[in-house]
Amino acid sequence: MRRPGACRVDIAGAGSYQLDGATVRALGIVEGAEVDGALLERVRAAAARLDARGVALRLLQRRLRSRAELETALRRRGVPGDVVLAVIGELRRGGWIDDARFARAWIRDRLALRPCGARRLRAELHRRGISAQVTAEALAELLPFEMEDELARTQAQTRLMRLRGLPPQAVRRRLAGWLVRRGFSAEVIARVLRQLLPGEGASTGVGPAA
């Protein structure tokens, strides 16, 4: 299927290739011209980049992706490594790939749909190839320390309603464990327990944050 804006270039004995108009002009391809081995390789490389770019754009139209996610997806589809790097570079320059934008969008969605702590968010973004610095900047903007404390406290207050009737130490232990699973650090959990369960002992039952 021909892509919008693409030109079909038929080369005798070498097959047909789809190229964009700018590439055809840049390569100096004209009807009836002889194509030597060097030009044929350039045509093949350009066609491979155009094909990979089309795949990448379709993936990005489905959902926002990090650079690493998109690179992995292209490699899994059998796109050669040099073509992957060329396409990734082109899309980054064009603003299609932006890890900082991805990190902010990921954090906003998680906080809106399934609120969790910064520790879990850092782990999730790390698995998607987002650097520690980019993640830290996004968290500083969208989930600063005081906001994370408030989020943990709100979550814990809701959870406490389900722990009524249990012995105080069991409440503390279960609440701390639940907050750990929600991705809050030991420091945040300790502050929240001191506020919500005063006089029940200082230990949270969890270790330091990873």
Let me know whether 151 and 103 are in one domain.
no
Which of 96, 119, 134 is at the close of a domain?
96
CATH of the domain at 108: 1.10.10
Let me know whether 123 and 162 are in one domain.
no
Expressed in percent and rounded to 5, the helix, strand and coil fractions of the chain are 65, 5, 30
Let me know whether 139 and 158 are in one domain.
no
User: Tokens for 90?
Assistant: 């082109």
> Residue 130 and residue 136: Cα distance in Å, rounded?
10
Which of 79, 96, 113 is at the close of a domain?
96
Please give the angle made by the CA atoms of 71, 74 and 77, to the nearest 5 degrees: 150
What domain range includes position 105?
A: 98-143
Let me know whether 23 and 36 are in one domain.
yes
Which of 57, 80, 96 is at the close of a domain?
96
Tell me, yes or no, whether 154 lies in a domain: yes
Q: How many domains does the chain have?
A: 3
| pLDDT band, residue 33 (cuts 50/70/90) | low
Q: What is the pTM of this model?
A: 0.78
pLDDT, tens digit, 9 for 90 and up, residues 148-183: 999 999 999 999 999 999 999 999 999 999 999 999
pLDDT, tens digit, 9 for 90 and up, residues 109-150: 999 999 999 999 999 999 999 999 999 999 999 999 999 999
